[in-house]
Structure 1
Amino acid sequence: MSSVVKIYALFLGSALLMFGGGLQGLLLSVRGAEEDFSLLALGLIGTGWSVGFVAGSILVPRVVRNVGHIRAFCVMAAIGTITILLNLLWINDVGWILLRALSGFCFAGAAMIVESWLNEVTDNRSRGTIFSVYVTINMASSTLGQIAMSVTGTAGYIPFVVGAISFICAVLPTALTSSPQPKPLSSAKLDIGLLYRTSPVAAIAAFACGMANGSFGTLAPVFGYERGLDAAGIAFLFATAAILGALAQIPAGRLSDRIDRRLVLIGLSGIATTIGALMLVINPGGGPIMYVLFAAYGFAANPIYAVAVAHANDFAKDGDFAKIAGGMLLILGTGLAIGPAVASLLMGVLGPVALFVVTATFHGLLAIAAFARMRVRTAVDAADRAPFQPMAGDRQATPETVALDPRADSDETEASKAEVEDRDVQVST
């Protein structure tokens, strides 16, 4: 019973964290546009978040080793709260870029600590269920945070304060826990060469998702603003893409467990490319057609990263999942950092609709790469594939997410076998 209570408390902490993150991310893009920030500055705000998030994923484990989980989490949440309030007090494009990087750093650290605790109270039998529920809660909470902007609006101080309250309340479930502190945080196990040797398509997919999703997540709200939508309209526009994207993970995952996952990647990337092309051709205003196209884009684009991770894991050797998934996180983060800057420059030259030049280009390149690889390498038999697990292909995954993933069990099993073999050797000698 105590383990169940701890799990639900950690779910609550994660939900509050993601709610505030969803609200803050959408709010800064729209409020920045209202404050007449340049498109490049708006893009660099997204870049700052991604750079800070990657840095946090790498450096926060060292902080936790020095001061412990609870103190580190409280520090991260406190700085995150201060940061969003400074966004209100210091409305400046350069300031927001710097603050967004700090926010990404703190958000990564706080998320890693929650995930570390969740991993500690989860056994291998329930890991798959817990992981799926955790990812679902994160997606839903982030979407609710975005929808909340339709209530708070973007003017004045209220949306910033609501986000700050959400961040600081996320401290409570962790700070009040009576359970022992978990093991040290997982550090990203990076081996880009191993990832590319294992699955070139997965490496390409990680970068393509980063470029497309980073651009879309940061600048699609600006596109909506330029089309004359108010705060509520932008919030619901973004929510349609997020909700349909989350729902698409189930059918896309099940289909990829049955047929060559590269066919699924080709299909999803092809649809996302087509939607991007339609946006360029139609260049819709703020009417229903734009909501339909955004929903279709989210449905196609959101599951791609998770399918790519599953495809890489199909070809991975036992014990290599963490290294491969860590490498994909680094490549994804690189794309998330570069994409918004590139898209903002194109939008400055060609207009807001140029956002979809970036998304269509990189999804199209992924579809071509997956088709080319199908002619070189045969698929893994369906019976031998690792089961698909939902994952968010945006800015929510950390090395601790990889550790919580049930597919990491094979890594732990191999490590246990190695320890047993070492002990046997020592006994025999």
Structure 2
Amino acid sequence: MSVRRVQPKLPERPKSSLRALLGFAPLAVASVGLSGLAMGAFWSMIPVYATRLGFDIGGVGLVMSVAIMGGALLQIPIGRFSDKHDRPRVMTWVVLLAALIAVAMPFAPSHEMLLGLYFIWGGLAFSLYPLAVAQLIDQLHPDEIVSGSADVLVMHGAGCAVAPIAAGSLMTAVGIHGLPIYIACVFTLLGAYAIYRRRRVTALITHTAHFEPMVQSSAEALELIFDDAQRDLFDDPSFYEEEERQRLRNVLSAAKV
């Protein structure tokens, strides 16, 4: 005897767009895009850069490993620090310090010193994308996490796709040190924009999300990042009142004037 079962109705995921994300989280969107421009250049051009500096094949692997180790070891303390302090301010300092270290790379007196710079730079540069995602999640409803994270991932990928062409062209024009110069310019541009946003707009954040280091995982895993306090905030019906929505629109419109 068969029993008829009613299939559960799956909730619809709200759609988002980069234009909407730019409206209330422009710094996060800019950070993931420019992070792609910088990290794409690192992944694609660092073997050429290290080889031209005199590293052998094993040395090229060592340069990349040192940068990755820096990202693995420094990413978590930087993220935990951003949980307890103003996250946009932390992001600003991270990108400016990464730019400063990139500027110092052409002047490294030895390979050992260059490896040390890449360790610190990797810790800063690899922290930027997860910091930007955490900053975005600070301002997203839980149901919007998957679509929002997918949008910024596309933005990051677009930056990574363009980066090898841009960095390679600069290296052809100015020489091998065009790579750290390019990375420094990208991070300086982002740092300048972060400072501009801090002076123009007050962040509309009532509760900060918990930082999670970025590992290879699916976008759905980002749904698990929210803590109970933030979920309770968005479950409050008053949050969805049209008056509150209109107030946020007015604040954003006034900031753009």
**TM-score range for the pair, normalised by the shorter chain length:** 0.7 to 0.9
Residues 142 and 226, structure 2, Cα contact 8 Å, conserved in 1: no
Which residue of the partner structure matches residue 209 of structure 2?
Answer: 386
Tell whether 2:133 aligns with 1:309. Answer: yes
Residues in 2 aligned to 1:314 and 1:276: alpha-carbon distance in whole angstroms: 30
Deviation of 1:378 after TM superposition, in Å, equals 2.8
Deviation of 1:318 after TM superposition, in Å, equals 3.8
Which residue of the partner structure matches residue 330 of structure 1?
Answer: 154
Which of 157, 160, 164 matches 1:340?
164
Tell whether 2:24 aligns with 1:198. Answer: yes
Q: Secondary structure at the match of 1:300?
A: helix
Which residue of the partner structure matches residue 216 of structure 1?
Answer: 42
Q: Runs of 5+ in structure 1 lacking a partner?
A: 1-186, 414-429
Aligned 1:266-415 pairs, distance under 5 A: 266-280=92-106, 282=107, 284=108, 287-379=111-203, 384-391=207-214, 401-405=218-222, 406-407=224-225
2:225 maps to a residue whose letter is R
Deviation of 1:365 after TM superposition, in Å, equals 1.2
Residues in 1 aligned to 2:99 and 2:227: alpha-carbon distance in whole angstroms: 35
Deviation of 1:343 after TM superposition, in Å, equals 0.5
Residues 229 and 286, structure 1, Cα contact 8 Å, conserved in 2: no
Residues in 2 aligned to 1:252 and 1:324: alpha-carbon distance in whole angstroms: 23
Deviations 1:182-225 (A, max 9, x none): xxxxx9x6511121112000111011100000001111111111
Deviations 1:98-156 (A, max 9, x none): xxxxxxxxxxxxxxxxxxxxxxxxxxxxxxxxxxxxxxxxxxxxxxxxxxxxxxxxxxx
- Alpha carbons of 1:286 and 1:230: their partners in 2 closer, same or farther (altered >3 Å)? farther
Deviation of 1:389 after TM superposition, in Å, equals 0.8
Residues 16 and 144, structure 2, Cα contact 8 Å, conserved in 1: no
TM-score (norm 2): 0.78
Deviation of 1:404 after TM superposition, in Å, equals 1.4
Tell whether 2:69 aligns with 1:252. Answer: no
Residues in 1 aligned to 2:111 and 2:41: alpha-carbon distance in whole angstroms: 22
Deviation of 1:371 after TM superposition, in Å, equals 1.4
1:237 maps to a residue whose letter is V
Q: Secondary structure at the match of 2:157?
A: helix
Residues in 1 aligned to 2:143 and 2:110: alpha-carbon distance in whole angstroms: 49
Deviations 1:310-359 (A, max 9, x none): 01111123421122211110110000000011101111111111011221
Structure with the bigger RCO (C-alpha within 8 Å, sep 6+) is 2
- Alpha carbons of 1:191 and 1:301: their partners in 2 closer, same or farther (altered >3 Å)? same
Residues 31 and 129, structure 2, Cα contact 8 Å, conserved in 1: yes
Q: Secondary structure at the match of 1:320?
A: helix
2:66 maps to a residue whose letter is T
Residues 71 and 122, structure 2, Cα contact 8 Å, conserved in 1: yes
Deviation of 1:293 after TM superposition, in Å, equals 1.3
RMSD: 3.1
Deviations 1:39-69 (A, max 9, x none): xxxxxxxxxxxxxxxxxxxxxxxxxxxxxxx
Aligned 1:167-206 pairs, distance under 5 A: 191-206=17-32
Residues in 1 aligned to 2:202 and 2:49: alpha-carbon distance in whole angstroms: 41
Aligned 1:229-244 pairs, distance under 5 A: 229-244=55-70
- Alpha carbons of 1:220 and 1:285: their partners in 2 closer, same or farther (altered >3 Å)? farther
Q: Runs of 5+ in structure 2 lacking a partner?
A: 1-12, 233-257
Residues 402 and 408, structure 1, Cα contact 8 Å, conserved in 2: no
Which residue of the partner structure matches residue 67 of structure 1?
Answer: none
Residues 241 and 294, structure 1, Cα contact 8 Å, conserved in 2: yes
TM-score (norm 1): 0.48
Residues in 1 aligned to 2:180 and 2:150: alpha-carbon distance in whole angstroms: 28
Aligned 1:139-154 pairs, distance under 5 A: none
- The percentage of aligned residue pairs carrying the same residue is 29
